[in-house]
Structure 1
Amino acid sequence: MLEKLYRYLNNEKENRVCLDITEEACKHVPKNYFIIMFSNVMTKLGDTLSNPKTVLTWLMSYINSPVYLISLIVPIRESGSMIPQIILVNYVNKQAIRKWLWVVGSFLQFLSISSIGIIALNFEGALAGWLIILAIIIFSLSRSICSLSSKDVTGKTIPKTRRGKLKGYTVSVSGVLVLIAGLYILYKSKSDATISFYSSIIFFASATWLVSAIIYSRIKEFPGETVSDNKTEFNTLSKFSLLKTDKSLRDFVIARSLLLCSALTAPYYVLLAQEYIGKESYLLGLFIIARGIASIISSPIWGKLADKSSKNVMAIGVLMASFLGIITFIIISYFDSVRQINWIYPLAFFILGIAHGGVRLGRKTYIVDMATGNKRTDYVSVSNTVIGLILLITGGLSALVSLISIEGVVLILSIFGLWGAYKSYKLPNVE
């Protein structure tokens, strides 16, 4: 049944495609394909229900955490999962089997997200904000382990020309679950929009990482390339020299750093809605529903396009996010009556969800396809660490600017996004 479904989803009628994986791994592709899909569906559901751009922004605002702390949660969560990778990569490269690293990282994410629910129930104000940020830091460190290991596990178990579709189907299926969750939140918001309700959402989100860890442990992974302890050329600092010697990696990192507008602008759309519409809980449900529908509609399309040209997917996605940000700035700044219409904010978030889905799926497919073995792991660790540092800097600056003008942050990030679209388009195809 898995074989038939795999062939149907990938339009594979004759011999199985095994590009860029071993013959041994090729025998288990259908089973691994769906294990990776279902485990990632669960984590993506958890990501959405504990997303710093929507749920955590809403939750921290609800418990009266300062705006500057709310502005920091996205860059801290994203950069915290990236910066440590340059240190962790040496350990990861010594492991012939890497799925267990992902399992441990997923379990630690379960614990850290659970703690956010406990904090929300027992604290408020600046203290609650700082405690939540501490939990996010722990979550991000755990996520960095998963990020490093998952790229290599996918590269070892899933062939080229199938990886983009896998990510697309994963996001689409998770989008259905997100839509259901959003509708439930919208329904409950009429009668039970309390801190206990929001905390229960966080507790449910945390459980998805526990379930995902159990599913992921069933992957059939074969030993891959490793690095011995005495191989000195693979020390931490030397990996940064790849940015100087490897033009392909350097161009990708530059392009990716300019794509951050699709991620960093998201919480500001939520804050704008709260500022001009209010903190009505039904809006949170609409934001989550918008994200779910965006994933369902766009992800399979992005996935198919990414298997043909992932760099074009990156360019199109960030172009959408940039134009949306510029239009949003104009509306907020010059059209007082329009900015008070409650449905325009979920609509903007829906468009941003489509755009960010393309950026995210495109760059993930690109980095997996552009290298193999430990070179792939080195590429991932170097690019993620550099992007993490850039995120901290831009996130800190955005937090300062947001104290003056929230819509101004959206405009500045969107202008950088236009440059990112051009740099992405100029990258070479790796498919």
Structure 2
Amino acid sequence: MDPDRSVYEMLLGDEDARVCKDVPDAACKHLPRNFLIHVIALAATKTGDHLGSAKLVLVWVLGAVGAPAFMAGLTVPIRESLALIPQLFVAAWIRSHAIRKWFWVGGSAVQGACMAGMGMVALGLEGLAAGWSLLGLLVLFSLARGVCSVAIKDVQGKTVSRRTRGKASGYASSAAGGAALIIGATGLLSGGERLGYLASLLFGAAGLWLGAAVVYSWVVEERGQTSGGGNAGQEALRQLGLMRSDPQFRHFVLTRALFLSTAFAAPFMVVTARESGGTNFSALGGLLLAVGAANLLGGPVWGHQADISSRRVLIRAGWIAGAACGGLFAAVQLGWQHAAMFAGFYFVLALAHSGVRLGRSTYLIDMATQETRAAYTAVSNTLIGLLLLGGGSLSLLEPWLGASGMVLLFGGGSIVAAIVAMQLPEIDD
């Protein structure tokens, strides 16, 4: 038996492995190969996300090289918004090409090169020059990530069977979570801010992204339709009309916007923990352990449930995030401020955020058709990117609410998101 087929059936089971749904007929014979390639490539890039995390590792690097403190506050807005906003215009360009995997390959290679550049900056520059160099590379990294985000959803929709897409992402998240546990453990043992260790994390991330680019080039992709891939500006304006003409898509975008609260809550959880004295470098290792454990445990569970009902995944994840945020706020008010407690709540929030990301990605892919998938992805990501930029202004409430109060605020937003998600229609077979 073909070894790809054997592994494919072992991961999915006989029933799901025999299903070929919502992909071109010619692609059915390549399902095992393409599924495994997606798992390997996504596991590599998700692990790279841990090694070069803009929320954690890059912030530590900026501090270690003596960059001005305000630069640390720019990492997440740059990383998130610039990966989303340009996608509306990139989608039309990608759509004009019948084979789209090379956009992902090229984007992953650029991200790897940027991570390698950050590692060299960490070892060779200091102060203001190092800070601006790191942020400039992060800008390029984020733009390349936006190209990959559009491309992979379209390619995955043509090469991976509908009932297995969530499992592919779930297995990749689980593998990356296991790697993050090891990374976090080394952080706990490092005991300091040695630039050599931080640079090694960035160089490791670079190698993973470059390796993922090579692996993804082996995807067997059928030629797709190229209609609507002309002038990018005109196509972008036409695609925005989906918000007016497609009520299900509009409801999905609203739901996804409300679920930004799970992302906004995370840094304020970290601030709350730091205010309790957890400011040394080993605390970074603890956070990586929490995120890694959440991905390791949550990936397969969320992936399996997303293939059954991605809508229910969003609902459950929203309630879990709300409970984590409310629990942390209550604990702080009662004076229960222990490092293990903060790590526990951060783990639960990361688990919920993992479900939100996987659930909304799977819902979007399954809701769309071959003709609308790239447009749905680009429009929703661009609008969410704009909201990310505006959402940063909510941090101005922190002096009045405090860090734990901000956590409670975003926890309430997560519960509202879950309630709104309950009104989303199920995706029918």
Please list the CA deviations of residues 336-367 of structure 1 after superposition, one character each: whole Å capped at 9, or x if unmatched: 4x22x221222122111211110010011001
Give the distance between the partners of 2:62 and 2:231, measured in 1 at CA.
47
Residue segments in structure 2 that go unaligned for 5+ positions in a row: none
1:413 aligns with 2:415: no
Aligned to 1:262: 262
Letter in 2 for 1:116: M
Matching of residues 266-415 of structure 1 within 5 Å: 266-332=266-332, 334-336=333-335, 338-339=336-337, 341-398=338-395, 400-402=396-398, 405-415=402-412
Matches of 1:115 and 1:329 in 2, distance apart? 40
> In the alignment, is the contact (CA less than 8 A) between 2:103 and 2:148 conserved in 1?
yes
81-90 vs 114-123, which deviates more? 114-123
Using structure 1 for the length normalisation, give the TM-score.
0.92
Confirm or deny that 1:172 pairs with 2:174.
yes
Shift of 1:420: 0.7
Deviation at 1:206, TM superposition (A): 1.7
**CA displacement 1:275-308 (0-9 Å, x = unmatched):** 3223222221121111111111111111111011
Structure 1 stretches lacking a partner, 5+ long: none
Q: Distance in 2 between matches of 1:311 and 1:79?
A: 25
- In the aligned structure 2, how far is the partner of 1:164 from the partner of 1:136? 28
Corresponding residue for 2:85? 83
- The 8 Å contact of residues 258 and 413 in structure 2, kept in 1 or not, is answered as yes
Q: CA deviation at 1:79?
A: 1.3
Note the alpha carbon deviations across 1:366-401, whole angstroms, 9 max, x for none.
Answer: 011001223010000000000000001002332x34
**AA in 2 matched with 1:260:** L
Pairwise CA distance, 1:253: 0.2
Quick one: distance in 1 between partners of 2:59 and 2:79? 12
- The match for 2:199 is 199
Q: Which aligned pairs between 1:56-75 and structure 2 lie closer than 5 A?
A: 56-63=58-65, 68-75=70-77
Give the corresponding residue for 1:208. 208
Name the counterpart of 1:225: 225
Q: Deviations over 1:52-89 (max 9, x none)?
A: 22222333344555665433322321111110011111
Q: Residue 425 of structure 1 is aligned with which of 392, 413, 422?
A: 422
Residue pair 1:80, 1:141 contacting (<8 A) in 2 also:
yes
Q: Give the AA of the match of 2:181.
A: L
Q: 1 CA distance for matches of 2:417 and 2:68?
A: 31
Aligned with 2:99: secondary structure? coil
- Alignment correspondent of 2:183: 181
Which segment is superposed worse, 110-119 or 76-85? 110-119
SS of residue in 2 equivalent to 1:28: helix
- Taking the aligned partners of 1:363 and 1:103, their CA distance within structure 2 comes to 24
Between 380-389 and 401-410, the greater mean CA deviation after superposition? 401-410
The one-letter amino acid of 2:40's match is F
Paired letter, 2:408: L
- Matched-pair contact (CA < 8 Å) for 2:259–2:356: yes
Give a deviation string over 1:145-181, Cα, whole Å, max 9, x none: 0000000111000111111111111111121122122
Matched residue type, 1:312: R
8 Å CA contact 2:16, 2:163 repeated in 1:
no
Tell me by how many angstroms 1:243 deviates: 0.2
Q: How many Å separate the matches in 1 of 2:227 and 2:16? A: 37
Counterpart-to-counterpart distance in 2, 1:327 and 1:71: 26
Q: 1:5/1:250 Cα in 2 relative to 1: closer, same or farther (>3 Å)?
A: same
Q: What is the distance in 2 between the residues matched to 1:289 and 1:342?
A: 13
Q: Does the 8 Å CA contact 1:35/1:216 hold for their aligned counterparts? A: yes
Q: Which residue in 1 is equivalent to 2:22?
A: 20
Corresponding residue pairs, total: 425
What's the counterpart of residue 115 of structure 1? Answer: 117
**Secondary structure in 1 matching 2:317:** helix
Cα distance in structure 2, aligned partners of 1:396 and 1:52: 19
How many Å separate the matches in 2 of 1:310 and 1:10?
18
Higher deviation after alignment, 296-305 or 375-384: 296-305
* Paired residues of 2:228 and 2:235 also in contact (CA < 8 A): no
1:412/1:366 CA distance change after superposition, 3 Å? same
